[in-house]
């Protein structure tokens, strides 16, 4: 069997450089690439690993380019990491400042909470006193309501009595004219009686004088006769 010339292997492989390079980029091994060439293109010669990379030396440039691109990518990633680290450091500094502010605010807040607790205790005491005062006021109010009820009842009873008295006064007023007429008649009768008494006294006086005169006259007559 005749051997395939050297240049034919390289030329055959180089004619399929793009396809081989693409397979290599996707991570295919040299065995997988050789197998693909046999199945897809009926590669007419066998290849060992050293021969594969010997004839496919264009892959070395691809590897170098790939490494260069990877290096550039690593440099870019490193730059990004440095930026991220710088940002993290700035954030860390900012967080430390914020933490200090939070500590100060926490101290102030703690003091405020203590003050609030003290004020709350004072308010509780105030509300207890206010509740006691309200209870006392409520009792006084209840007493006042009861007293008002008693006064209302007394006023009702007094109103009834006043109505009764008014009825009695109305009845009395009906007889006032008659009573006044009787009083006037009695007054006139009294005046007439006084006049009669005065006349009787005068008559009695003159009778006494007449009696004395008679007695005196009879005495004189008796004296003269003796």
pLDDT in tens, 167-199: 775 774 666 677 578 768 868 877 886 887 678
**Residue 77 falls inside a structural domain:** yes
**Residue 132 falls inside a structural domain:** no
Its domain, for residue 47, covers 6-100
| Band of residue 43 on the pLDDT scale cut at 50, 70, 90 | very high
Q: What is the pLDDT of residue 23?
A: 96
**Residue 82 falls inside a structural domain:** yes
List the structure tokens of 130: 């206010």
Do residues 33 and 24 touch, judged by C-beta distance below 8 A?
yes
| Band of residue 202 on the pLDDT scale cut at 50, 70, 90 | confident
Average pLDDT on 126-140 reads: 72
pLDDT in tens, 98-111: 868 857 877 786 77
| Band of residue 68 on the pLDDT scale cut at 50, 70, 90 | very low
| Band of residue 117 on the pLDDT scale cut at 50, 70, 90 | low
Q: How far apart are CA 44 and CA 28, in angstroms?
A: 21
Compute how many other C-beta atoms are within 10 angstroms of the C-beta atom of residue 33: 22
**Residue 56 falls inside a structural domain:** yes
**Residue 177 falls inside a structural domain:** no
Q: What is the pLDDT of residue 6?
A: 53
List the structure tokens of 154: 């007394």
Residue 58: burial class (beta carbons within 10 Å; 0-12, 13-18, 19+)? middle
pLDDT in tens, 137-165: 767 867 887 877 886 887 788 778 878 87
**What is the chain's mean pLDDT, rounded?**
76
List the structure tokens of 70: 């990877």
**Residue 52 falls inside a structural domain:** yes
Indicate whether 66 pLDDT > 70.
no
Number of domains composing the chain: 1
**Residue 28 falls inside a structural domain:** yes
What percent of the chain is predicted at pLDDT more than 90? 22
Q: What is the pLDDT of residue 153?
A: 85
Compute how many other C-beta atoms are within 10 angstroms of the C-beta atom of residue 20: 23
**Residue 42 falls inside a structural domain:** yes
């Amino acid at each position: 069997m005749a051997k395939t010339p050297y240049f034919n292997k390289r030329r055959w492989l180089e004619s399929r450089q793009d396809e081989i390079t693409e397979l290599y980029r996707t991570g295919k091994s040299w065995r997988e690439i050789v197998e693909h060439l046999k199945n897809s293109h009926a590669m007419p010669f066998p290849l060992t690993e050293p021969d594969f990379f010997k004839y496919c030396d264009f892959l070395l440039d691809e590897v170098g380019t790939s490494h260069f691109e990877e290096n550039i990518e690593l440099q870019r990633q490193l730059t990004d990491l440095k930026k991220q680290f710088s940002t993290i450091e700035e954030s860390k500094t900012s967080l430390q400042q914020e933490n200090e502010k939070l500590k100060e605010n926490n101290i102030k807040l703690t003091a405020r909470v203590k003050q609030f607790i003290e004020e709350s205790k004072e308010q509780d005491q105030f509300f207890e006193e206010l509740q006691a005062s309200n209870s006392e006021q409520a009792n006084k109010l209840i007493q006042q309501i009861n007293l008002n009820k008693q006064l209302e009842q007394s006023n009702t009873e007094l109103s009834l009595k006043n109505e009764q008295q008014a009825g009695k006064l109305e009845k009395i007023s009906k007889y006032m004219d008659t009573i006044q007429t009787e009083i006037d008649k009695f007054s006139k009768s009294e005046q007439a009686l006084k006049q009669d008494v005065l006349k009787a006294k005068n008559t009695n006086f003159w009778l006494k004088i007449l009696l004395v005169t008679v007695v005196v006259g009879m005495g004189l007559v008796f004296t003269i006769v003796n």
